[in-house]
Amino acid sequence: MMPTRTRRLVLQKAGGLQGTFSYMAFAPAHGVGAFVAINTFDFGAAQKMAPVVNDLIAALAPPP
């Protein structure tokens, strides 16, 4: 995701296979990253992973 006034540049990847969902994102210039995975086929929970991780990264690497 391109940087904005409230977020640094974030690289991200989501995936899923055989009932497991994962999401990882990091702000490469700031040494901040997060990975989360769930092993239950819960599409609603999988959709909520990205905003939670992105908000965490925004809090740990705030823009200037």
Q: Please, what is the average pLDDT of the chain?
A: 88
Assign 18 a pLDDT band (cuts: 50, 70, 90).
Answer: confident
For residue 44, count other CB atoms closer than 10 A to its CB: 6
pLDDT at 8: 81
Between the alpha carbon of residue 20 and those of residues 23, 26, 50, the distances in Å are 10, 21, 15
Q: Is the pLDDT of residue 49 over 80?
A: yes
> Which of 5, 2, 4, 10 lies closest to 26, judged by CA?
10
pLDDT at 23: 94
